[in-house]
Amino acid sequence: MGTKQRIIGYDFARAWAMFGMLIVNFNVIMGAGNNGPAWLRTFTSLFEGRASALFVILAGIGITMMTKRAVASSDQHLVMESRKNIWKRSVFLFVLGLLLYTLEWTGDILHYYGVYLFLAAFLIVVNPRWLVGLALGFLVVAQFLQLRYNPFEGWAGPVPFMNYADFWSVEGFARNLFFNGYHPLFPWFSFFLIGMWLGRMNLKEGRTRKRLLLVSVVITAVVEVLSRVLIHISTPWIGSEASTFLFNTGPILPNVLYILSATGTAIAGLILCLYVTERWARSRVVTAIVHTGQLTLTHYVSHVVIGIGFLILIGRLTNQPLAFALTYSVCFFAFSIMVSILWRKKFSRGPIEWVMRKVTG
């Protein structure tokens, strides 16, 4: 598997991560989480925090691949130019994310991305072992902060984790960004660092991929079993709420077990996507999904502006059945695929990807 084929695999994975994101975001924005049968709630819960984790890991891989030539050359001038390009992109994404936030899209991830990229630029020449060590460090600090301070501070409103009351204040913005927002630096930057580490690995080698797949599946399975055992054992002593807070593997709040489990599922999903694109490289379906993955920034913005905008227009934004939210997610993903197919017939980049390239150079 050459570099070009791996990039295709990453784009394929990015498209499926976007699909998972659509399910989670439309589910949350419609308030559909509990408005359906148990099996459907279980199915949709599988994507919570997992799609976003894969997205961030893919972003880390992308930065490593983008700077690979400059880092390999050991030319300090090229390395600095790469850092400047990353910083420009970080500013673009940060501003774009905040613009979406002004449209009341409080679940934005782009402004967090901007900060991840800014920090990652300093680490493009760091030894891979240091990347793993830093990832663990961010994870440990995050767990300490959650235990030491109130992780619910700043969240307000009748619906939990929907509105951040003081987001636009200096203190509230910093708290949201570093500590208890949707994708705070501690611990979400750990995913990005793992992505940078993966980007340094030789994923074209079959043995490496098989080993990663096995390890990631085992880690996820062990962590999920451990989570349930710890919750069961600790509940009689500290209560169900505290035990769930400490040992749950859901994204709210993102504890150590969640990060480990989500990392495992993300890596396993990524490796499977590489196998699929390698096996069916000429498939029209695979190509269509790859094109969709190449336009994920555009589709992310469109799911806020067009996807949510249409729900407002038809009066189906709140208190919707889970089946409707899931159906809408599937339909919007299909719509995104069709748009991608048509767009890529004439253009090599999506409209917002093109703007970012023009602005950042």
pLDDT at res. 206 = 85
pLDDT at 1: 58
Q: Is the predicted pLDDT of residue 361 greater than 80, yes or no?
A: no
Predicted local confidence at residue 160, as pLDDT? 67
Query: What percentage of residues in the chain have a pLDDT greater than 90?
Result: 80
For the four alpha carbons of 168, 169, 172 and 177, in that order, the dihedral sign comes to positive
How far apart CA 90 and CA 50 sit, in angstroms, is 23
pLDDT number for residue 350 = 94
φ and ψ at residue 89, rounded to 5 degrees: -65, -35
241 burial level (CB within 10 Å; 0-12, 13-18, 19+): exposed
- Backbone φ and ψ for 103, nearest 5 degrees, come out as -85, 15
Give me the sign of the Cα torsion angle 208, 192, 248, 270. negative
Answer yes or no: are the C-beta atoms of 199 and 65 closer than 8 Å: yes
| More reliable by pLDDT, 360 or 211 | 211
pLDDT confidence of residue 187: 96
- Range in 104-118, 166-180, 244-258 with the lowest mean pLDDT: 244-258
**Chain segment 265-316, per-residue pLDDT in tens:** 999 999 999 999 999 988 999 999 999 999 999 999 999 999 999 999 999 9
Q: What is the mean pLDDT of residues 75-101?
A: 95
The pLDDT of residue 163 is 87
Answer for the pair 143, 255: CB distance below 8 angstroms, yes or no: yes
Q: Could you give the CA distance from residue 61 to residue 192 in angstroms, rounded to a whole number?
A: 8
Give residues with Cβ within 8 angstroms of 47, minimum separation 6: 20, 21, 23, 24
Q: Which pLDDT belongs to residue 2?
A: 66
- Whole-number pLDDT of residue 158: 72
The pTM of the full predicted model, rounded to 2 decimals, is 0.95
Answer yes or no: are the C-beta atoms of 339 and 331 closer than 8 Å: no
The pLDDT value recorded for residue 221 is: 96
Higher pLDDT, 213 or 242: 213
pLDDT tens sequence across 194-212:
999 999 998 888 899 999 9
Q: Mean pLDDT, the chain, as a whole number?
A: 93
What phi and psi, each to the nearest 5 degrees, are found at residue 234?
-85, -20
Structure confidence at residue 200 (pLDDT): 92
The answer to whether 65 and 11 are in contact (CB under 8 A) is no
Q: How confident is residue 260, by pLDDT bands cut at 50, 70 and 90?
A: very high
Structure confidence at residue 242 as a pLDDT band (50, 70, 90):
confident
Q: Which of 275, 170, 257, 171 is nearest to 221 (CA)?
A: 257
Rounded Cα–Cα distance for residues 210 and 231 (Å): 32
Q: Is the pLDDT of residue 63 over 90?
A: yes
Q: Are 26 and 160 in contact (CB under 8 A)?
A: no
Secondary structure (H, E, C), the chain: CCHHHHHHHHHHHHHHHHHHHHHHHHHHHCCCCCCCCHHHHHHHHCCCCHHHHHHHHHHHHHHHHHCHHHHHHCCHHHHHHHHHHHHHHHHHHHHHHHHHHHCCCCCCCHHHHHHHHHHHHHHCCCCHHHHHHHHHHHHHHHHHHHHHCCCCCCEECCCCCCEECCCCCHHHHHHHHHHHCCCCHHHHHHHHHHHHHHHCCCCCCHHHHHHHHHHHHHHHHHHHHHHHHHHHHHHHHHCHHHHHHHHCCCCCCCCHHHHHHHHHHHHHHHHHHHHHHHHCCCCHHHHHHHHHHHCHHHHHHHHHHHHHHHHHHHCCCCCCCHHHHHHHHHHHHHHHHHHHHHHHCCCCCCHHHHHHHHHHC
Terminal alpha carbon distance of the chain = 29
What is the tens place of the pLDDT at every residue in 131-186?
999 999 999 999 999 999 999 999 987 766 788 999 999 999 999 999 999 999 99
pLDDT reported for residue 210: 94
